[in-house]
Chains A and B, each alone.
Chain A
Amino acid sequence: MTDILHAVPTWAAFWGLCGGLLFGATGLVTAYSAKVGNDIARRKAWLHLGLGVVAGPILAEALTPSILTLAPAFDMRFVAVVLGWVGGSDPRGLFTLAKTMIFRVLGAPQGEQR
């Protein structure tokens, strides 16, 4: 049992979960505050918490090894928590933007079907 307890903090997924939890919990605090909270905000905050808890570990586990090969000086926990934080914030717009930029750099014709 203690073996697992010692092994868990070495998983990138655990730190991704921490990052996603951090991001989701701060969103919850804002959404449930008396001053600015409303129905839509509360539902979205729970969605973002769920997204952070689910997508954070997945993103961290998936991307941490490749990022560490590109830049081995970083600590694994740092990369994983940042990825968990990013995962919680629904970065689909970021991915679309990155894809557009990469296509433009590679000179691919716009509107190409993949």
Chain B
Amino acid sequence: MTLHQIMVLGAGLVFIAAGAVVSQVFRLLGPTYYTRVTAHWTVRGFFFAASLILVGRGLILIFPGEAISVAQMSPWVLLSGIVALGMALVLLEWAMRDRAPPPWSARLLGLAAKRGASPAAVAEIAMALPAQPHGDPASEHQPCRCVRLCMIWGAVITIAAVVAIILNSAATAMPG
């Protein structure tokens, strides 16, 4: 395994990781995660395409076939992969923010102001409103900590196993 081959495989992994993070950003911006930031469907569509493009970019570095030549790959590819991963992580942090209060609470505040409440009183009502749009639903059931950790660890081990299989296949079939 020469250093160049390690760099090629590393660049591929970095791009795949960036694609995976952007795919989660796409999920977080959708209706499934209703307590988090949502975005317009064009923005979500762009993130869906972006995750596919990033995963494809990473995979073609790992399994080049005859489509591209990785023998002359420059280190800039690895660096731009790291940039893509970093920006995807920042996007992920943004997409995990709480949603703003829905329009109806703003209308309630307008109603209160119209009924003659002073600006200070309106501000107090605004501060007292819950941050989430409709609070926690009655059936909100968080599984206990060990179930959650087991699921996450299982998923991480699965991802590591699949990545190991991919890397092993790429390394054994690599020319030179």
Interface residue ranges, A against B (CB under 8 Å): 9, 18, 21-23, 25-30, 32-42, 44, 71-78, 81-82, 85-86, 89
Contact = CB atoms under 8 A, between A and B. Distances in A.
A55 B32 CA distance: 21
Question: Which label, helix, strand, loop or mixed, suits the secondary structure of the A interface?
Answer: helix
Given A23-B20, A33-B148, A75-B65, 15 more contacts: A25-B156, A27-B23, A28-B154, A32-B151, A35-B96, A36-B28, A38-B33, A39-B140, A39-B141, A40-B32, A74-B66, A74-B67, A75-B66, A81-B166, A82-B59
10 contacts: A21-B162, A22-B162, A26-B155, A29-B155, A32-B143, A35-B96, A41-B27, A75-B64, A78-B60, A86-B52
Contacts of A27: 23-24, 27
Nearest to B55: A85
Contacts of A82: 52, 55-56, 59
Contact of A28 (B64, B143, B155): B155
B65 A73 contact: yes
A77 B141 CA distance: 40
Nearest to B35: A38
Interface in B34-84: 34-36, 48, 52, 55-56, 59-60, 62-67
Contacts of B34: 38, 40
Interface residues of B, number: 42
B2 interface: no
A26 B24 contact: yes
A37 B142 contact: yes
Nearest to B25: A30
Contacts of A71: 67
A72 B65 CA distance: 9
A25 B56 CA distance: 18
Determine which residue in A18, A23, A39, A78 has the highest number of CB atoms from chain B within 10 A of its CB, and name it: A78
